[in-house]
Structure formats: structure tokens, C-alpha cells
Structure 1
Amino acid sequence: MSFTPPPPPVFAGENYNIWAVKMRTYLQAHDLWNVVLNDTEPPPLRANPTIAQIRQHNEDCAKKYKAMSCFQSGVSNVIFTRIMACDTSKQAWDKLKEEFQGSDKTRQQQLINMRRDFENLKMKDSETIKQYADRIMTTVNNIRLLGEEFSDQRVVEKITCLNRDNKLVLRTIHL
């Protein structure tokens, strides 16, 4: 039996952070992520290369086109027009990141807002613990999607210590 890899995830302009995680994993699975990160050309062949060195060089050269192909296949036609002038997969990655995630300053402001949202989350009277935990996890996952470390311990503390009518309620929630 042979394994046919799935096509890359397609980005249509919404949920960039989720697409970026999926695309990074897709490229890593195909040994192409370093091509995006490093954006370097393979060194030229030495004089009198062996067949194995020639094959390896050709494979390394092809990786940059494979990575770019993944990007072009992994975006809708509307998004494709934004990256079609990019010469490298790193340029395409950076362009999409800048446009859809914003600058570092924008990202930092989003993180500040989400951390504040997390700290201000309170369980509603009409809400089950499961619903409350889901709201917490949505906020935490959005923080993590922006690249911020967020410990499970902080999440557990938020979920397990609920103060309702001045009574401490302890529950076990599996993350």
C-alpha cells in the first residue's frame, strides 16, 4: 500500500493563524519547512561531483520549487494574486504573515487584548462548566496561535477555582 499525502490546507483569507499552523506542519512533513525558513540556495556543485552528489544537489534545488508549489496550491485564487510575484516561498510566507497576522506591534496588541480577555473571563450563571471551559480554551488557543506560550497550569487554575456566591467550586476538567 502506498500513502498519498493530502493536499495542502487552503487559505481563503480567514483564520490565518490556524492555516499557518497547518501549513507549517504540512511543509515539515514534506521536509520543506527549512527551505521557507532559510531562503537560501544550495551551494554549487564541486568539480567532478559523484552521481549521489548530483542527485542530492538536484533534490535540494527542487525543494524551493516544491515549497513554492505548496504555497500556491495552499491558497485560494484571490490570495494567490497577493503572492504570485514572490520569488521564494519565504517571501510568500512573510507576505501572508504581514498582511493577515499584522506587524509585530499589531500582534503584541492582540496578545495584550487576549490576555486581558482571559483574565476577565468569568463563568456566567446560565453556563455549564463545559461551556465555560470551552470559552477559556478558545481564548487560550487564540493566544497560542499568535505564538505566545501559555501554560496548561494557568488554564487549569482558571477552570478549577470558580467563585460563585462566595463558594469555592473545584472541578476536574481534561484539556
Structure 2
Amino acid sequence: MSFSPPPPPVFAGENYSIWDVKMRTYLQAHNLWNVVQNDTEPPPLRANPTITQIRQYNEDCAKKYKAMSCLQSGVLDMIFTRIMACDSPKQAWDKLKEEFQGSEKTRQQQLINLRRNFENLRMKESETVKQYADRIMATVNNIRLLGDDFSDQRVVEKVITTLPEKYESKISSLKDSRDLSTIPLTDLINALYAQEQRRANRMEEYSEGAFQARGREGSNSSSSFKGNKPWTEKKDKGKKEATKRKFPPYAHCKKTNHLEKYCWYKPDIQCRGCKQLGHIKKVCKNKPKPQLHHQNQAQTAEDVEA
């Protein structure tokens, strides 16, 4: 079956490491990667070559220009101007690598920073196991893109040693049933994710049960309200507790059953009956005594006779 690969990946100036991997695979699919690596000319033809030898020689010579065409087509015009003067695909490849990936010293510093970030990774309480694994793999993939051989076993060890305490029971059961030194990362993540799902389902069932229990208690209390009218009982009970409550004795009345602001004998309060300060009308001793109704009628009769 014939294979027609897609167009080459286009480099726009960012994420060079990703483009490097894609373009290398693209050149290998066209059997052109050896030309970029070695940058050697095919040996000259011998005397009296056959038609097959001539055809093979022409194909070997054309590989150099095919690889160069792939590299030129795989970059934007603003980057093409930096490699258009290169005579060979290897020269163009090395120029792009030096400019966008940096020197060997720069690459080593990037690796040191990424390894430090990997060692400092810890799982947050608010994220799931898969989210934490994605954060770890993002750092690991950047390390691998720089050419470092980073094994999956180091990733597994990192996940196991940095999980919160709530996963200890699952890790212990996995140690009893499997060899954690050889367990694939995907199997570990799936086992931990299954435990998360079970815990989430139990919490959901518990919440629903508690909600239904509160609903039953609310219906029972509402039915008791209809028969016994507990709000009136609470109101009376509140009044009784208020009368029994003790307050600091007020300086003017010496009583302890009320606050100072409610006192009837405050010095700045004015009586509405006698207009004097120091008490209210309710406890005024100078207010006129009410006359009886029959006394008023007798007085009226005397006035008429007079």
C-alpha cells in the first residue's frame, strides 16, 4: 500500500522542541533523515554504469534537495530568511536548533530547572489524581523533549510518594497485590481514580440520606406546630427567662431586674404628669388622685342648687 504523509509541520517561532520531533518523524517517513544527519554526498559513478546505477545515483543526489525543500516548507517566511543561505539540510537544521533551542549549556540549565520543578511537585487537596498526573506529565514531557531519558518508573515513584494521606490504604492494597516497581503509570492512575469515584459516590449517598432525614424531621415539627402551637410556649418561656435574668444594680433604683436604659427613675427623664425630673408618669407620686363618679355628681347638684 502506498503511503502519502501529510504536509510538513510548520514552525512559527514557538515550541521548537515539539516541531523538532514532528519534523524528524516527517523526514524519516520520506527516508530523508539520514541526509540531514550525515550531510554526505553520494559516491561518484563508476565507469560504464548501468541504467539502474545511474537512476540510484540520481535519487541519492536528489535526497539532499528533497530534505532541504521539506525544511524550507516547514517554517514561516520570517524564519525561512534565516536558513535560505544554507547549502545543506544539516546546516539549516543545526542553525534552527542553535537559535531556538539554545546551546548545550542553555539546554542543560533548562533541564536542571525542569528537574527541580519535578521534584517540588505535590498533589493539591482540591485536585483529582488525573489532574495531578497531567501536571506531572507536562513537566516530564518537557524534560524528554530536551533529550533526557526520563523513565516511567520515576513518574510512578513520584506519584506514590507525594499522594495525600487519604490514598494510603489504596497504595497499601496495591503493594500487597502487585509489584509497584513494575506497575504502569496508567494502571496506577486508574486504580487511584476508581477509589476517588467510590469515595465521591459514598459522600453523595450520605448527603442525600442526611437531606431526606432533615426533611422528615421538618415535617414532624410542622405537624407538632399545628397541634401544640410551640411558638406561644417559646414566647412565654422567653418572657419568664427575661424576668429571671440578673443585671447590675442601677445606682438610682438599686434594682437588678432591668437594664439602665429601661429604668423608671433615671435622673434625666421628665414626668409627663408633674413635669419634674427623676421619674416617669407611671410611678409619679404627685399626680392628682382621680375623684369618684358619685362625688362628681354630688358636687354638680350642689352647684345647681346654689
TM-score (norm 2): 0.54
**1:78 shift after superposition:** 1.0
Distance 2:117 2:76 in 1: 32
CA contact 1:64–1:89 (8 Å) conserved in 2: yes
Q: Write the distance in 1 (CA, Å) between the matches of 2:167 and 2:48.
A: 79
SS in 2 for 1:44: coil
Structure with more contact order per residue of length (Cα contacts < 8 Å, sep ≥ 6): 1
Alignment length (residue pairs): 174
Distance in 2 separating the partners of 1:2 and 1:34 = 21
State the 1:2 CA deviation.
5.3
- State the 1:164 CA deviation: 2.2
**2:136 aligned residue:** 136
Read off the aligned partner of 2:137 and give its amino acid letter.
Answer: M
- State how 1:97-136 maps to structure 2 within 5 Å: 97-136=97-136
Q: Among the aligned pairs, what percent are the same residue? A: 79
Q: Secondary structure at the match of 1:173?
A: helix
Quote the offset at 1:163 in angstroms: 4.1
Alignment of 1:84-95 (within 5 A): 84-95=84-95
Distance 2:2 2:105 in 1: 46
Kindly indicate whether residue 62 of structure 2 is the aligned counterpart of residue 62 of structure 1.
Answer: yes
Instruction: Decide whether the 8 Å contact of 1:160 with 1:173 is kept in 2.
Output: no
Q: Distance in 2 between matches of 1:33 and 1:3?
A: 17
**1:127 Cα deviation after fit:** 1.4
Q: CA deviation at 1:166?
A: 8.5
Extract unaligned runs of 5+ from structure 1.
none
2: CA distance, partners of 1:163 / 1:143: 22
Residue 173 of structure 1 aligns with which residue?
189
DSSP 3-state at the match of 2:100: helix
Aligned to 2:14: 14
Larger Rg: 2
Q: Report the alpha carbon displacement of residue 65 of structure 1 after superposing the two structures with TM.
A: 0.2
Aligned equivalents of 2:123, 2:13: Cα separation in 1: 32
What 5-or-longer segments of structure 2 have no aligned partner? 175-187, 191-306
State the Cα deviation string for residues 31-55 of structure 1 (Å, max 9, x = none): 0000000001111111111111100
